[in-house]
Structure formats: structure tokens, C-alpha cells
Amino acid sequence: MQQPIQNESQFVVDLLTTLRAGGFSPRAWWNFILHSWDMSLATAKQHPTLTRSWLRVTLIIGTLTLGILLATIFVEGAGATLRLLPGLLFCVAWQQSDLFWHLGLNRRSTAEAPVYQTVGLANTFTWLRALGASYLLARIVGGLPSASTLALGVFLFGVATDILDGQVARLSKTQSKLGQIADGEADFCLYLALTIILLQNGVLPLWLGLVMVLRFVLPLLAALTSYFLFAQPVRFGSTVWGKYAGLAQSLYFFVLLAPPSLTFLTHIVNMPLLVITIALLIIAPLAQIVANLRH
């Protein structure tokens, strides 16, 4: 199993080099996507057990998506459900396609590591967090208002799955490149959705929302520049500063979304926590960019 993985890595580098040589033209992009899809299909054929695991996870996510739609009909009516439906289906379809596309990364970061034959519980927790983010983003796209209580519930669910996926991966020794990438994508989508909802509800000023989004966007742009322009591997691993920033941002979101009964406490910690969060949100992307350059 080692040789195909090594060939896969070289194949990706060759694809990126060809894309750059083609001047990133539409034809070059089409060939890049087509050959990437062919590589994903080849990975699926080489690992049928892993493919069946992907189907099981897709079935779980699909069932939960149906449950969300039924709950929306019951609570908010058919009109709200129809407004939610397109965005939610798009996000879920993208989410599961993205998982299939990157099945070959379901292994440790070293080229010699074998591919795990199941998606695994840790990655499933990550995809559940992504489903929560997809639900909030679909509400935003559909023009549905999201109360702070609803956003807080999804946020706490996201925090719980974020803790669980890391713990399960470490305990089961199934850390993978797939998990690193998926964790970053799920966090970005969840925090983006929460930021937009807080902006819509008039709780968060625009400048602070932009700072929070840039925490994810700046390292991503730096990594993608390295990936596409220089055919270098993209490093999605977190830094110590990134973890501190994530913790501070999570606590600040909790303060903003906290129920009125906790106002006496949130009023005290709001300003000190805001200062700490802003400082870390500035430091974290810079540290990530430096880490990518060193890598």
C-alpha cells in the first residue's frame, strides 16, 4: 500500500505544476479538477472498505439532515423549510463530496503511512460539527433569522464535537491529514456563521467581525498561494497561538450568546476578554503564516 500513496503525492505535485504552467486558464483548471476526481475514484476503488465507511457516514449525515428539515417544518412552518432547503442541501452535498474527494488523506501525514480503512469516529464528530455549521449558513442564505438561543445551542454542540474529535483521534491513534483539514474547514464555517448571525442581531460590531473572519482567511490564503503557485504542500495544522485564539474567541462568543440570566457575569468579563481576544486574533494568523513559510 505504500507505493500508491507515494505515487499519489507525486501525482498531486505534477497536477499543480501543470496547472501553473497552463497559466491557470479555464482549460487548465478543468484538467486539474478532472484529474483530481480521477485520483479520488482510484482511491475509492483501491479501498472499498473505506468507501463503504464513507457511505455509512453519508447516510448518518443525510438522516440527520432530514431530521433538521422535519423539525423546521414543525417549529417554523413549511415556508421557512423551503427557504432553508436549498442552502442546506448544497452545504451537505458539498460536505460529503469533499469527504469523498479527500479519502486518500485519511492517514497520518507521512507518505509511508497506510490509509485508514474507516472514516472513523473522530472524523464523524468533525462532520457533525460541519453539519451544524451548514444549518446556520443555510439559515443565513435563506434569509431566516436565528435567535441567540438557537445559535448558542449549535455553538455548544460544535464545541462538544470539537473536543471529542481531538480526544477520540488521540486515544484511538487515528490522527490524520484528513482530520486536520476537516477540523479547520468545520471551524471556519461554524465561526463564520456565528459571526454573521451576531452581526445581523446587532451584537457584534462590523470591524470586530472582520477581524474574527480574517483569523481564518489570512492563513488560508497564504497556504493556498503556496499550494497553487509553488506546488508546495499546504500546512493546515494549528499553532499554539491559534489554539489560544480559538479558545478566547469561543469564550467571547459564549459571552455574546449567553442567556439574560448571566448578564451580571458577562458584563464583568466582556471588555477584558474582548481585549485578549483581539490581541490573539491578530497574533494567531501571523503565527500560522510563519509556520507555513518555515514548512
Q: Give dist(CA 17, CA 252) in Å, integer.
A: 43
Predicted local confidence at residue 28, as pLDDT: 72
Q: Give dist(CA 36, CA 31) in Å, integer.
A: 8
Predicted local confidence at residue 174, as pLDDT: 86
Predicted local confidence at residue 217, as pLDDT: 75
Predicted local confidence at residue 223, as pLDDT: 61
What string of DSSP letters covers 107-138? S-SSTTSPPPSS--HHHHHHHHHHHHHHHHHH
Predicted local confidence at residue 43, as pLDDT: 84
Predicted local confidence at residue 145, as pLDDT: 93
Identify the CA nearest to 188 among candidates 164, 227, 221, 166: 221
Mean pLDDT by 10 residues, the chain (295 residues): 44 61 72 78 89 96 97 95 96 93 81 83 95 97 93 94 90 87 88 93 88 75 62 59 84 89 85 90 77 63
Say if residues 190 and 133 touch (Cβ distance below 8 Å).
yes
Predicted local confidence at residue 190, as pLDDT: 94
Give the gyration radius of the chain's Cα atoms.
20
Q: What is the pTM of this model?
A: 0.84
Predicted local confidence at residue 1, as pLDDT: 35
Predicted local confidence at residue 51, as pLDDT: 94
Predicted local confidence at residue 68, as pLDDT: 97
Q: Give dist(CA 50, CA 30) in Å, integer.
A: 27
